[in-house]
Amino acid sequence: MLNAVPFALTAALLAPTTPAAADPVRTVAEETVAAGATGVQIRTVHDGHSRTVTAGVSELDSRRPVSPTGRFRIGSTTKTFVATVVMQLVAEHRIQLDTPVEHYLPGLLPRGKEITVRMLLQHTSGLYNYLRAISLDGADLEKVRYQHFSPESLVAIATARPLDFPPGSKFSYSNTNYTVLGMLIERTTGHAWGDAVTKRILRPLGMHHTLVPGDRTRIPGKHAHGYQEMNGKLVDVTELNPSFGGAAGEMISTTADLDKFVQALAAGRLLPPPLLKEMTTPRSAAEEYGLGVETRTTPCGIPVFGHTGGIPGYGTIAFTSADGKRRVEASLTFGRGPANEAFYSLIDKVICA
């Protein structure tokens, strides 16, 4: 949802790992903390061998280490779960990708006859991103931190502004797209999007530590604390009402559970092969975004897909190679500034290690 990795981490993650290093993944984790992160948890799978590496502390002013099984907010990685449910409904012939949203949610969008389901999934609808009107930066977060936002209110914020561009004409990342998709899932199935994700993905895959919190402000069980800079100080923002994320970024998970998800997705256990291919194929090579997944070719030539995520205090990575043999999931807890390239550098270093 918010790609939020500290600027300070970029140099460390972009710096080449020493070839002689005995453990490049641990080196990346330790460099990340040395550059200013509070903690990091990285799970890797290479050809069937899995491991989880942690560095840093789970809470400032504490020596308690980051738990390798702890929960965290996954931000926009939620989008891939939502997209998978939509694609399952496409497979069931209950939704059609190129049918206008107006057909399913009449009157919701001012230009709903021109915006298709596919455009929502690939961020080409032109819908204004409501988070441009709800500031989560710095001390502004305190104004909305415990506020409830309904999907309808978030869409109303977006539709009060004109489209950023004609539907289908270009790519622009907008959380509004996935708020609408959450409403589409509910209209189609008769169940809230979170219930549909739980029934169709979490329970079948045994993702027992993943949840859709709704208005619940706490992260249950073991978890590292997340921080955000406010007036020059790092403030603990672990507790907040994530309803401003909703279907675009509300979920909580663990690296082990996220690994179950991306492994199942790559293996074709959640979608028929033709729809998985469509989901993971970007509209253009320049955009590197399919239908609810980011795509990337690593420097070592291994193509991967998955999603990054950011929400105040937390950054998330969940990616798999196309064949599912190499996977990486990570949680970063931090407090300062966004830098997208830090995410992708971590993916590249781990996948290519």
pLDDT at 215: 97
* Alpha carbon distance 317, 334 (integer Å): 14
Q: Is 76 a catalytic residue?
A: yes
Name the active-site residue from 58, 67, 76, 253.
Answer: 76
pLDDT tens digits for the chain (353 residues)? 444 333 334 334 444 444 434 688 898 888 888 877 899 999 999 988 999 999 999 999 899 999 999 999 999 999 999 999 999 999 999 999 999 999 999 999 999 999 999 999 999 999 999 999 999 988 999 999 999 999 999 999 999 999 999 999 999 999 999 999 999 999 999 999 999 999 999 999 999 999 999 999 999 999 999 999 898 899 999 999 999 999 999 999 999 999 999 999 999 999 999 999 999 999 988 899 999 999 999 999 999 999 999 999 999 999 999 999 999 999 999 865 444 556 777 889 889 87
CA distance 205 to 207: 6
Distance (Å, rounded) from C-alpha 2 to C-alpha 32? Answer: 19
Catalogue the long-range contacts made by 202-209 (C-beta closer than 8 Å, 24 or more residues apart): 205/260, 205/261, 205/264, 205/269, 206/260, 207/253, 207/257, 207/260, 207/261, 208/257, 209/69, 209/71, 209/253, 209/254, 209/256, 209/257
- Return the residue matching tokens 């069980």: 221
pLDDT on residue 291: 98
User: Do you know the residue count of the chain?
Assistant: 353
Contact at 8 Å (CB) between 316 and 72? yes
In this structure, the strands spanning 227-230 and 303-311 are unpaired
Radius of gyration of the chain, Cα coordinates, nearest whole angstrom: 19
In CATH terms, is domain 7-351 a member of 3.40.718.10? no
For 289, residues 6+ apart whose C-beta sits below 8 A from its C-beta are 122, 123, 171, 173, 282, 283, 295
Residue ranges covered by each domain of the chain: 7-351
Which tokens is 137 given?
């930066």
pLDDT of residue 36: 79
